[in-house]
Amino acid sequence: MNNELFHLSETLRDSIKNDPIFIELDKVEKELNENEEIMRKSYKKDVICSKYSDLLKVFDENSDEIKKVRKELVEAKDELYETPLVKRYLQLYAQAREILNKVNDILLENIK
């Protein structure tokens, strides 16, 4: 039983790994990591996000300081997420998550 289960698990893993969505997701992710413009935008968003978190420890959420940095954060996220390659990655990621959630639901259907 255990050997059969392990074999089926490996088959499932290989099927997922060879699915066109996961192959394309991997390809686009590599392109993202090699794209300097996207890396700069991502870094900018991360710096502003960190600043926002730090300011929330000191200022009220409705303070002018927080509002200003929140606006900067929204703009930085928009700038990053509107990049065509990032949009493509997010679409593929959503499709991949949907597949994995369905697989998870099927696997756990009678175990709960």
CA–CA dist 96, 100 (Å, integer): 6
Summary mean pLDDT of the chain: 95
Percent of the residues in the chain that have a pLDDT greater than 70, as a whole number: 98
Name every residue whose Cβ is closer than 8 Å to that of residue 60 and which is 6 or more positions away in sequence.
Answer: 66
Q: Is residue 104 part of a domain?
A: yes
38 lies in which domain range?
A: 20-108
Helix or strand or coil: residue 82? coil
Q: Is residue 71 part of a domain?
A: yes
User: Domain total for the chain?
Assistant: 1
pLDDT for 2 equals 83
In tens, the pLDDT along 13-63 reads 999 999 999 999 999 999 999 999 999 999 999 999 999 999 999 999 999
pLDDT for 112 equals 61
Average pLDDT for 55-74? 96
Average pLDDT for 79-101? 97
Q: Is residue 14 part of a domain?
A: no
49 contacts 66 by C-beta, under 8 angstroms: no
Q: Is residue 77 part of a domain?
A: yes
